[in-house]
């Protein structure tokens, strides 16, 4: 039915006006002329062209058709075999080499998986019982090898030179310096390497005026000084927390990087309740750290008060009267800690991270008094030998012109020194400066020579992590670039014709290996020597220490500078895996920040807000220490002690790394006189900073069934149903256990034949360290998406470690608050309050990956059956089948599925390791690199389980007990993540699955996951 009805927009339309302008506008979509000529070019040329629009379309049509026809032809793929295939390389089969990392910050013996000669993954060396820990940074270190920002050869003032030139010029330079009578300084990292030490002493004897200064960017100098005074050897005492029943830590983040780290595995052993007992851990600290988060009792305390608390603890333990006063509440806690320690006796241990010789000496005295079984001073940790005073003296000497030549090895003082300007001035007065570096970093840039050194995976070396525990470092790939090791350079300069490899070999054969063959040691990667050095036992003047500590004055704000789990001292800042690694506590990536307590934030006018998309923003603040000011964004941190601030090292690098990686602010300028706890002034600075945080909701809101936890007392005395109840659902208005088949929508599938994989995660021994996260990245080619995408919640981590704070003082309190809610009004207000963490909350970590549900909600909604279930319990994801509807992600109760919004591989918009040929060498060839528009998720490392099965089939044997592994379970030093086959009754996971602590995440949903969690037990038993 036609109609003459006319629609009009303006009055002129209804009553046609003679106005020409109105008429003109009426017939034009755009008021202004579209500047076609501007983008098409000259109008007259266009008009005179013989190509009409129709012709143009014909050509377009033809060329499109031609192109698509041509595209049907497959590409020709070339295959180039070796000319002479190395005997030990079989394409497609991984080789493993035992080696070690020793970069001055992380020391560990490890196993490197190589494929076709490319190192692709770091694994732990099961023979190395006590050689450091493989943390997230070590896991990620393999990617540093393939960093395309590395120096490709020696440089002089930024110009490439040859090694011959380098040697002749350096040799001449050293001679000149010797003639001038100035000193030659080796400013090096801690090597903890017997052969390097010997080499340096030989170099010293060749050039008489050599001074060796050991410099740790993040100093443990005070502890090393105290140990040296007491025992006569520079180093640190070893602790073994597996034997401890009561652990009192005052400002020591021993689950982090305290004294070189590596204590978490032993600690975790003592945390799993066995025969009704587990260790009790009391932590006094200012920042919220991993150790505090895992503690049974955490006391937020200013650094200055920590010293007083230590004095009081000493006084209470030994019955000495010490005249210190603390707030009454703190005094009570310290007194009760002392009581617990006295009760534990030799099973107790005290440690401190206070950078003060007196405090460190006091702790030695306390542990000796307790006769602590966990304190092993006879085993010296050698990985932190830096001497702050020597470094300060060096800077003075350089400025006085006393230093003629300086070799800087494994250190980046221009970035890490607080007085970097003075150091740079000093360098200018030094006639010969050489930086041995992998990158054109801050120091290499201002040095005359930058000597390109190889990555540790291309080098020879040896380490002695603890006295008597040796490790060997061997190359796992030919050097990628024209690099030479510092040790080889030193050998040449000393006139020694040996290579460093031969040097180590002869040194080991003559003085370390006691009859054991070199080959065996190299194969194992570790060697434990039975001979031990006798240590002195000097007396430490405690009276002076006590009185010095008692005089400590507090200030309004005290800053605690700390190393972040992912970034350490910042030498791996160009590693995209570590940049995107969410901090275990703040869950923030690509940044560092000032942590402030909520109380102080309010009074200072600092805030954290979330924008409309959820992105976290934080105000900026200015921090001033001793005249140096740094502007940094603020993160409000639950658990931060009032009057304290925290700021992490390792960020704010500007040289030798991609622009994407130049994140955060540099905290080293505030590290005045190597004091990590300076007093500080803070004031709000204008503007807001955008964070990329992967967890925007911080509390559990009283949902105690997500992280089930109980106390040791209840665990020991009550029925399992009390503290680990089976969830019930309503069936015909009857409460029915969710495990009953009556309430199940689905038929059960018989999985009793073959393998059935389960993964168990013990929430008691998980310290939240995050090594599994990086291991998962490396094994499964998980892409890095960058800060912007993370902020949009498009992170790709297959495995995340959720961190929850309690909004009450305890999670139990949260549960009760929730249960007490009645009525709408109460629930609205109370739930609102429960979103806020308490000031000193309990913390819980929960690693969450795909739960591989036997009744998986994701599988039923996939329209193309891209997600399906295997008989072995794994939820399969066929990427090539996925069309990207994302229904599965929406239907997943655990939110573990990740969508590829972009092509992250070979895309200039994501200029990380997958965007260059060098970086792509780290990719695991057994796992597909996913493309844009497909869903991905944890596969329970099906490539690893399949390989284990195939190995067994080829050998014609059943799969061994505990042979199945995933990347995360293999990376878990603390033994929290255990993987295995529950159809093999001898596998550890079979017992864990039926353990009374076992529960499933969101069990009431009825998804029947193949991942089990173990209830977290807290030891709240006060003495």
Partner 1 sequence: MEIVSKFKNQHSPIVDMKQENSQHPQIKLVFFGILLFSFLFTPLHAQEADPVKGKALFNANCAACHQLDKKMTGPALRYVETRLSEDEGLDREWLYGWIRNSAAVIKSGDTYANKIYNEYNGAAMTAFPQLSDEDLDNILAYTAQDKPAPVVAATSGAAQVNSEGGSGLSKDIILGALAILFALLALGLFLVNKTLRRFAAANGVEVQEAIKRPSLWKAYVKNQFLLLVTAIFFLLSSAYFVYGYFMQIGIDQGYQPIQPIHYSHKIHAGDNGIDCKYCHSSARVSKHSGIPSLNVCMNCHKSIYEVAPSTATEEYSKEFYDAEIQKLYDAVGWDDEAQQYTGKTKPVKWVRIHNLPDFAYFNHSQHVSVAGLECQTCHGPVEEMEIMYQHSPLTMGWCINCHRETNVKVEDNGYYEKIHEALSKKYGVDKLTAAQMGGLECGKCHY
* Strands in 422-557 per DSSP E: 432-437, 449-452, 461-466, 469-473, 526-528
525 binds partner 1 (CB under 8 A): yes
Contact set for partner 1, span 499-518 (CB under 8 A) = 501, 518
- Residue 722 token pair: 């009390």
Alpha carbon distance 762, 245 (integer Å)? 19
Place of tokens 């700021």: 647
885 binds partner 1 (CB under 8 A): no
949 binds partner 1 (CB under 8 A): yes
98 binds partner 1 (CB under 8 A): yes
Among 17, 22, 96, 604, binds partner 1 (CB under 8 A): 96
Alpha carbon distance 143, 991 (integer Å)? 37
78 binds partner 1 (CB under 8 A): yes
Q: Which is nearer to partner 1, 29 or 87 (CB)?
A: 87
Region of 581-589, 612-620, 710-718, 879-887 interacting with partner 1 (CB under 8 A): 879-887
Among 728, 952, 1002, 1005, binds partner 1 (CB under 8 A): 952
Alpha carbon distance 926, 957 (integer Å)? 24
Q: Which is nearer to partner 1, 95 or 550 (CB)?
A: 95
Alpha carbon distance 605, 682 (integer Å)? 11
Q: Which is nearer to partner 1, 20 or 83 (CB)?
A: 83
Instruction: Report in angstroms how near the CB of residue 85 gets to partner 1 at its nearest.
Output: 4
Contact set for partner 1, span 597-626 (CB under 8 A) = none
Determine the Cα angle at 283 with ends 278 and 284, to 5°: 165
Instruction: Report in angstroms how near the CB of residue 868 gets to partner 1 at its nearest.
Output: 5
Q: Which is nearer to partner 1, 101 or 645 (CB)?
A: 101
Alpha carbon distance 249, 550 (integer Å)? 19
Among 61, 91, 495, 906, binds partner 1 (CB under 8 A): 91
| φ, ψ for residue 251, nearest 5 deg | 70, 20
Among 214, 309, 351, 877, binds partner 1 (CB under 8 A): 877
Instruction: Report in angstroms how near the CB of residue 796 gets to partner 1 at its nearest.
Output: 16
Q: Which is nearer to partner 1, 498 or 714 (CB)?
A: 498
Q: Which is nearer to partner 1, 274 or 954 (CB)?
A: 954
Instruction: Report in angstroms how near the CB of residue 944 gets to partner 1 at its nearest.
Output: 10
Q: Which is nearer to partner 1, 21 or 865 (CB)?
A: 865
Among 181, 627, 823, 956, binds partner 1 (CB under 8 A): 956
Q: How many residues bind partner 1 (CB under 8 A)?
A: 72
Among 111, 427, 796, 858, binds partner 1 (CB under 8 A): 111
Q: Which is nearer to partner 1, 3 or 880 (CB)?
A: 880
Among 122, 337, 427, 522, binds partner 1 (CB under 8 A): 522
Instruction: Report in angstroms how near the CB of residue 781 gets to partner 1 at its nearest.
Output: 11
**Mode of pairing for the β-strands spanning 644-648 and 628-636:** unpaired
| φ, ψ for residue 435, nearest 5 deg | -110, 120
782 binds partner 1 (CB under 8 A): no
Among 129, 393, 551, 953, binds partner 1 (CB under 8 A): 953
Instruction: Report in angstroms how near the CB of residue 246 gets to partner 1 at its nearest.
Output: 37
The residue among 1014, 952, 1021, 951 whose CA lies nearest residue 988 is 1014
74 binds partner 1 (CB under 8 A): yes
Contact set for partner 1, span 897-926 (CB under 8 A) = 926
Q: Is 960 exposed, middle or buried (CB count within 10 Å of its CB: 0-12, 13-18, 19+)?
A: middle
Among 878, 889, 903, 1005, binds partner 1 (CB under 8 A): 878
**Mode of pairing for the β-strands spanning 709-711 and 469-473:** unpaired
Place of tokens 């698509």: 68
Contact set for partner 1, span 621-660 (CB under 8 A) = none
Q: Which is nearer to partner 1, 553 or 957 (CB)?
A: 957
Region of 414-422, 943-951, 960-968, 1005-1013 interacting with partner 1 (CB under 8 A): 943-951
Contact set for partner 1, span 228-257 (CB under 8 A) = none
Region of 162-170, 218-226, 818-826, 927-935 interacting with partner 1 (CB under 8 A): 927-935
Three-class SS of 880-918: CCCCCCCHHHHHCCCCCCEECCCCCCCCCCCCCHHHCHH
Contact set for partner 1, span 118-137 (CB under 8 A) = 126-127
Q: Is 75 exposed, middle or buried (CB count within 10 Å of its CB: 0-12, 13-18, 19+)?
A: exposed
758 binds partner 1 (CB under 8 A): no
Instruction: Report in angstroms how near the CB of residue 886 gets to partner 1 at its nearest.
Output: 19
868 binds partner 1 (CB under 8 A): yes
Alpha helices in 146-193 (DSSP H): 163-180
Q: Residue 421: which residues within 8 A CB-CB, separation 6 or more?
A: none
Alpha carbon distance 1020, 1023 (integer Å)? 9
The residue among 191, 215, 235 whose CA lies nearest residue 100 is 191
948 binds partner 1 (CB under 8 A): no
Instruction: Report in angstroms how near the CB of residue 844 gets to partner 1 at its nearest.
Output: 32
Alpha carbon distance 120, 218 (integer Å)? 29
Instruction: Report in angstroms how near the CB of residue 102 gets to partner 1 at its nearest.
Output: 17
**Mode of pairing for the β-strands spanning 107-115 and 94-102:** antiparallel
Q: Which is nearer to partner 1, 95 or 628 (CB)?
A: 95
The residue among 746, 189, 147, 676 whose CA lies nearest residue 455 is 147
Among 927, 961, 1002, 1005, binds partner 1 (CB under 8 A): 927
Among 286, 380, 872, 1010, binds partner 1 (CB under 8 A): 872
Instruction: Report in angstroms how near the CB of residue 436 gets to partner 1 at its nearest.
Output: 20
- Residue 952 token pair: 């067994």
Instruction: Report in angstroms how near the CB of residue 849 gets to partner 1 at its nearest.
Output: 15
Q: Which is nearer to partner 1, 22 or 903 (CB)?
A: 903
1023 binds partner 1 (CB under 8 A): no
Three-class SS of 280-337: EEEEEECCCCHHHHHCCEEEECCHHHHHHHHHHHHHHHHCCCCCCCCCHHHHHHHHHH
Among 18, 35, 81, 825, binds partner 1 (CB under 8 A): 81
Instruction: Report in angstroms how near the CB of residue 507 gets to partner 1 at its nearest.
Output: 16
Q: Coil, strand or helix: which one is 687?
A: strand
77 binds partner 1 (CB under 8 A): yes
436, 454 contact by CB (below 8 A): no
Contact set for partner 1, span 456-495 (CB under 8 A) = 460, 474-476, 478
* Residue 669 DSSP one-character state: G
Q: Which is nearer to partner 1, 126 or 321 (CB)?
A: 126
752 binds partner 1 (CB under 8 A): yes
Query: Buried (b) or exposed (e) across 760-795, using 16+ Cβ within 10 A?
Result: bbbbbbbbbbbbbbbbbbbbbbbbbbbbebbbeeeb
- In terms of phi and psi (left: phi > 0; alpha: psi -120 to 50; beta: otherwise), the region of 769 is alpha
1017, 710 contact by CB (below 8 A): yes
Region of 70-78, 414-422, 580-588, 757-765 interacting with partner 1 (CB under 8 A): 70-78
Among 204, 523, 658, 681, binds partner 1 (CB under 8 A): 523
Among 309, 942, 998, 1015, binds partner 1 (CB under 8 A): 942
266, 366 contact by CB (below 8 A): no
């Amino acid at each position: 039915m036609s109609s003459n009805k006319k629609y009009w927009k303006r009055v002129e339309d209804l009553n046609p006006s003679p106005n020409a302008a109105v008429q003109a506008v009426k017939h034009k979509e755009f008021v202004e002329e579209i500047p076609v000529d501007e983008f098409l070019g000259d109008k007259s040329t266009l008009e005179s062209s013989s190509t009409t629009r129709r012709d143009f379309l014909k050509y377009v049509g033809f060329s499109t058709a031609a192109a698509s026809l041509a595209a049907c032809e497959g590409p020709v793929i070339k295959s180039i075999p070796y000319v002479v295939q190395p005997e030990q390389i079989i394409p497609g089969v991984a080789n493993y080499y035992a080696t070690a990392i020793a970069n001055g910050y992380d020391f560990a013996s490890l196993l490197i998986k190589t494929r076709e000669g490319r190192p692709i993954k770091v694994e732990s060396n099961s023979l190395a019982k006590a050689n450091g820990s493989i943390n997230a940074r070590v896991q990620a270190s393999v990617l540093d090898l393939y960093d395309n920002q590395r120096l490709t050869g020696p440089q002089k003032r930024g110009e490439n030179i040859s090694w011959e030139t380098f040697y002749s010029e350096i040799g001449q330079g050293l001679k000149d310096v010797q003639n001038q009578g100035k000193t030659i300084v080796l400013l090096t990292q801690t090597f903890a390497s017997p052969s390097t030490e010997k080499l340096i002493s030989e170099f010293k004897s060749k050039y008489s005026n050599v001074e060796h200064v050991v410099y740790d960017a993040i100093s443990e100098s005070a502890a090393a000084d105290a140990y040296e005074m007491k025992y006569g050897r520079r180093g640190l005492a070893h602790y073994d927390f597996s034997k401890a029943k009561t652990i009192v830590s005052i400002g020591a983040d021993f689950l982090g990087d305290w004294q070189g780290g590596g204590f978490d595995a032993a600690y975790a052993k003592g945390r799993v309740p066995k025969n009704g007992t587990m260790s009790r851990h009391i932590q006094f600290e200012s920042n919220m750290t991993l150790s505090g988060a895992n503690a049974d009792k955490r006391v937020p305390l200013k650094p200055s008060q920590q010293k007083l608390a230590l004095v009081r603890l000493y006084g209470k333990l030994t019955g000495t009267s010490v005249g210190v006063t603390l707030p009454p509440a703190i005094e009570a806690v310290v007194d009760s800690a002392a009581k617990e320690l006295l009760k534990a006796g030799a099973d107790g241990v005290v440690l401190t991270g206070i950078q003060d010789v007196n405090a460190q000496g006091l702790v030695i005295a306390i542990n000796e008094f307790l006769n602590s079984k966990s304190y092993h001073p006879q085993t010296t940790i050698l990985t932190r030998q830096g001497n702050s005073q020597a470094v300060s003296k060096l800077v003075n000497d350089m400025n006085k012109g006393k230093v003629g030549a300086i070799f800087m090895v494994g250190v980046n003082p221009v970035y890490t020194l607080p007085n970097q300007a003075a150091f740079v001035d000093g360098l200018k007065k030094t006639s010969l400066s050489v930086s041995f570096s992998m990158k054109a970093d801050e120091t290499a840039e201002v040095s005359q020579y930058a000597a390109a050194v190889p990555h540790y995976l291309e080098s020879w070396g040896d380490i002695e992590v603890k006295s008597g525990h040796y490790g060997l470092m061997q190359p796992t790939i030919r050097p990628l670039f024209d690099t030479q090791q510092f040790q080889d350079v030193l050998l040449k300069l000393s006139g020694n014709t040996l290579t460093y490899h031969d040097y180590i070999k002869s040194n080991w054969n003559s003085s370390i290996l006691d009859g054991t063959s070199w080959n065996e040691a190299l194969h194992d990667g570790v060697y434990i020597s039975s001979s031990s050095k006798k240590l002195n036992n000097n007396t430490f003047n405690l009276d002076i220490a006590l009185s010095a500590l008692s005089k400590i004055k507090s200030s309004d704000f005290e800053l605690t500078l700390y190393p972040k789990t992912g970034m350490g001292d910042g030498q791996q800042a160009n590693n995209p895996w570590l940049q995107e690694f969410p901090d275990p506590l703040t869950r923030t990536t690509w940044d560092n920040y000032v942590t402030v307590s909520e109380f102080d934030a309010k009074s200072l006018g600092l805030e954290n807000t979330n924008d409309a998309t959820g992105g976290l923003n934080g105000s900026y603040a200015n921090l001033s220490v001793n005249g140096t000011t740094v502007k940094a964004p603020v993160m409000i941190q639950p658990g931060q002690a009032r009057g304290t601030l925290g700021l992490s090292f390792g960020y704010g690098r500007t040289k030798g790394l991609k622009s994407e990686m130049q994140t955060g602010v540099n905290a080293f300028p505030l590290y005045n006189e190597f004091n990590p706890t300076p007093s500080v002034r803070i004031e709000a600075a204008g503007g807001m900073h955008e964070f990329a945080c992967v967890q925007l909701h911080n509390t559990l809101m009283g949902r105690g069934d997500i992280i089930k936890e109980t106390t040791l007392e209840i665990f020991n005395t009550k029925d399992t149903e009390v503290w680990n109840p089976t969830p019930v659902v309503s069936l015909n208005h009857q409460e029915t256990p969710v495990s009953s088949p009556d309430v199940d929508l689905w038929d059960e599938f018989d999985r009793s034949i073959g393998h059935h994989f389960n993964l168990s995660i013990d929430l008691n021994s998980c310290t939240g360290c995050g090594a599994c996260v990086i291991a998962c990245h490396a094994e499964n080619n998980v892409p890095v998406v960058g800060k912007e995408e993370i902020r949009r919640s498009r992170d790709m981590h297959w495995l995340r470690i959720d961190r929850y704070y309690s909004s009450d003082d305890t999670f139990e309190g949260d549960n009760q608050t929730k249960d007490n809610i009645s009525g709408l009004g109460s629930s609205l207000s109370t739930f609102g309050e429960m979103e806020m963490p308490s000031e000193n909350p309990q913390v819980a970590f929960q690693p969450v990956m795909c739960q591989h549900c036997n009744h998986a909600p994701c599988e039923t909604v996939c329209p193309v059956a891209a997600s399906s279930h295997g008989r072995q319990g794994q939820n399969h994801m066929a990427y090539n089948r996925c069309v990207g509807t994302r229904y599965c992600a929406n239907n997943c109760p655990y939110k573990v599925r990740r969508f590829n919004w972009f092509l992250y591989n070979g895309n200039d918009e994501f200029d990380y390791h997958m965007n260059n040929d060098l970086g792509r060498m780290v990719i695991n060839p057994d796992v597909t690199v996913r493309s844009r528009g497909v869903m991905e998720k944890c596969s329970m490392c099906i490539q690893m389980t399949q390989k284990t099965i195939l190995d067994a089939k080829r050998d014609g044997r059943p799969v061994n007990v505990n042979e199945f592994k995933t990347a995360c379970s293999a990376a878990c030093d603390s033994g929290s993540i255990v993987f295995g086959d529950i159809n093999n009754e001898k596998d550890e996971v079979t017992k864990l699955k039926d353990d009374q602590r076992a529960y499933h995440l969101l069990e009431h949903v009825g998804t029947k996951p193949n991942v089990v969690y173990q209830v977290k037990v807290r030891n709240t038993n006060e003495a």
